[in-house]
C-alpha cells in the first residue's frame, strides 16, 4: 500500500510517498480503506520537530531524536471497512466509518487496521469523507476543554481566541451547543466565517483589546498560545477559567499560581475517548458541530498540505484524500 512517511525532521519536502506492507486485521480488528485524513497541527510539529519553548527535549525523547519514531503520521481518518478479523460484530465490509487513532497515528496511508472497540464509529450520512476525517482532532480537544475542564454552563460567556483553526472552530460550535454566549477573537477577514458557524460576537485581534472591554468572560479559551493567563485576568469574571490549549513551558509554570477571585488557568492534554468521538458524530449528524474545511489535497500532494498548515493561516482543517 501507499503511505506518506517522515524519517527525519525537516520542511514539508521531507514527506515522501512509499510502498509499505499491506496490514491485515487480527482478532477484534477491522481493516479500513482510507478515503480521507487530515494534516493537523500535531502532524506539523512531529514532521518539523517544532515544539513549544521548553518542550523540545521532552518531545524528542518521546517521539524520536532525529526523526519521528513512527514515520507514518496522521491521527484521524474516514473510509470504508475492507475486511474484519475474527470476533468483530460491530462492523462489516462496506460500512462507512470514521476513526480517531490519536497518538498511535498511521492514518496517512491507503489502509489502516483499527480495533473494533476503539474510537471508531459509523460515518454520518450527512458528512462527506473529508468532513468526517476532520471531526476528531479538533472536536475532541474542544469538547474536553469546554465540557470537562471548564465545565461550561448554559448562559455563561465564552471567548475563543484563535477561533478559526481546527480546535477553535469546533469550540465555537460546541460552546453554542452547551448554551454559552460565544465571542471570538480572530482577524477581521474571519469575522463573517465566525458568525456563520455560530459566534454571537466577533473581535478583531488587530484593533480590539478584549482585556479593556467592560465585558467579563466566564471562560476564555486560547487555542493557539496567543496570550497568557496573567494578561487575560482583567477580562475574566470572578471564578473565571482560562483554558490554555497551547502554551510553552514558561507559560504553564507561570499559570500554576491561581489568580484573584477564584480565577484559574487549566491546561494539559486531551484524552482520546471513543465516547467523545461517538458524541461528536451524533452532533455532526444533527448539524450542531460540523468540521470546517480549509483546503483539500490529493494524497500525492501531502507535502503541500503540510506547507499549508505550516503557514499558520488555515481556517479549520486541511484534508488529504486517498480516494
The answer on 298 and 243 residing in a single domain is no
pLDDT score recorded for residue 62: 82
Stated length of the chain: 323
pLDDT score recorded for residue 103: 94
Residue 253 lies in a domain: yes
pLDDT score recorded for residue 60: 87
The answer on 173 and 102 residing in a single domain is no
Q: What share of the chain has pLDDT > 90, as a percent?
A: 88
Q: Which are the contacts of 148, defined by CB distance < 8 A and separation ≥ 6?
A: none
Residue 275 lies in a domain: no
The answer on 105 and 28 residing in a single domain is yes
Residue 94 lies in a domain: yes
Q: Which CATH number do you get for residue 146?
A: 3.40.50.720
| Model confidence at 45: pLDDT above 80 | yes
Residue 157 lies in a domain: yes
The answer on 21 and 60 residing in a single domain is yes
pLDDT digits (tens, 9 = 90+) for 70-85: 999 999 999 999 999 9
pLDDT score recorded for residue 20: 98
Q: Which CATH number do you get for residue 111?
A: 3.90.180.10
pTM for this model (two decimals): 0.95
| Model confidence at 251: pLDDT above 70 | yes
| Residue with the three cell numbers 477580562 | 235
Residue 281 lies in a domain: no
The answer on 209 and 142 residing in a single domain is yes
pLDDT score recorded for residue 52: 80
Q: Residue 104 has which C-alpha cell?
A: 498511535
The answer on 75 and 93 residing in a single domain is yes
Among residues 252, 267, 282, which one ends one of the domains?
267
Q: Is 38 in contact with 293 (CB distance < 8 Å)?
A: no
Q: Which are the contacts of 80, defined by CB distance < 8 A and separation ≥ 6?
A: 32, 33, 35, 94, 95, 96, 97
Predicted confidence band of residue 254 (pLDDT cuts 50, 70, 90):
low
The answer on 165 and 97 residing in a single domain is no
pLDDT digits (tens, 9 = 90+) for 60-73: 888 898 999 999 99
The answer on 142 and 256 residing in a single domain is yes
Domain extent, residue 82, equals: 2-135+291-321
Residue 273 lies in a domain: no
Predicted confidence band of residue 311 (pLDDT cuts 50, 70, 90):
very high
pLDDT digits (tens, 9 = 90+) for 108-149: 999 999 999 999 999 999 999 999 999 999 999 999 999 999
The answer on 71 and 129 residing in a single domain is yes
pLDDT score recorded for residue 266: 94
pLDDT score recorded for residue 106: 98
The answer on 130 and 255 residing in a single domain is no
Average pLDDT taken over every residue of the chain? 95
Q: Which are the contacts of 313, defined by CB distance < 8 A and separation ≥ 6?
A: none
Domain count of the chain?
A: 2
Q: Residue 256 has which C-alpha cell?
A: 500554576
The answer on 69 and 95 residing in a single domain is yes
Residue 285 lies in a domain: no
Q: Is 4 in contact with 47 (CB distance < 8 Å)?
A: no
The answer on 145 and 185 residing in a single domain is yes
Residue 283 lies in a domain: no
Q: What share of the chain has pLDDT > 70, as a percent?
A: 99
Amino acid at each position: 500500500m501507499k503511505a506518506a512517511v517522515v524519517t527525519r525532521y525537516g520542511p514539508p519536502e521531507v514527506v515522501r510517498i512509499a510502498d509499505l506492507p499491506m496490514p491485515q486485521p487480527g482478532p477484534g480488528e477491522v481493516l479500513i480503506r482510507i478515503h480521507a485524513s487530515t494534516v493537523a497541527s500535531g502532524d506539523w510539529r512531529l514532521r518539523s520537530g517544532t515544539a513549544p519553548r521548553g518542550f523540545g527535549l521532552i518531545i524528542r525523547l518521546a517521539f524520536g531524536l532525529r526523526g519521528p519514531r513512527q514515520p507514518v503520521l496522521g491521527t484521524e481518518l474516514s473510509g470504508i471497512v475492507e475486511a474484519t478479523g475474527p470476533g468483530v460484530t460491530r462492523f462489516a465490509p462496506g460500512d462507512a466509518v470514521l476513526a480517531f487513532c490519536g497518538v498511535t497515528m498511521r492514518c496517512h496511508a491507503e489502509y489502516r487496521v483499527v480495533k473494533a472497540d476503539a474510537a471508531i464509529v459509523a460515518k454520518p450520512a450527512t458528512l462527506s469523507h473529508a468532513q468526517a476525517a476532520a471531526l476528531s482532532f479538533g472536536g475532541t480537544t474542544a469538547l474536553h476543554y469546554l465540557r470537562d475542564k471548564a465545565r461550561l454552563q448554559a448562559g455563561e460567556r465564552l471567548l475563543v481566541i484563535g477561533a478559526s483553526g481546527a480546535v477553535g472552530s469546533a469550540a465555537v460550535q460546541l460552546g453554542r451547543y452547551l448554551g454559552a454566549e460565544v465571542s471570538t477573537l480572530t482577524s477581521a477577514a474571519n469575522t463573517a466565517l465566525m458568525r456563520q458557524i455560530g459566534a454571537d460576537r466577533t473581535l478583531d485581534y488587530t484593533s480590539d483589546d478584549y482585556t479593556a472591554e467592560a465585558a467579563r468572560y466566564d471562560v476564555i479559551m486560547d487555542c493557539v498560545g496567543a496570550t497568557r493567563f496573567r494578561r487575560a485576568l482583567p477580562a475574566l469574571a470572578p471564578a473565571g477559567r482560562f483554558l490554555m490549549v497551547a502554551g510553552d513551558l514558561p507559560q504553564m509554570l507561570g499559570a500554576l499560581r491561581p489568580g484573584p477571585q477564584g480565577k484559574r488557568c487549566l491546561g494539559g492534554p486531551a484524552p482520546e475517548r471513543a465516547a467523545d468521538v461517538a458524541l461528536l458524530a451524533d452532533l455532526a449528524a444533527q448539524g450542531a458541530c460540523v468540521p470546517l474545511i480549509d483546503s483539500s489535497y490529493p494524497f500525492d500532494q501531502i507535502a503541500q498540505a503540510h506547507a499549508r498548515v505550516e503557514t499558520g493561516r488555515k481556517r479549520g482543517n486541511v484534508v488529504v484524500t486517498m480516494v
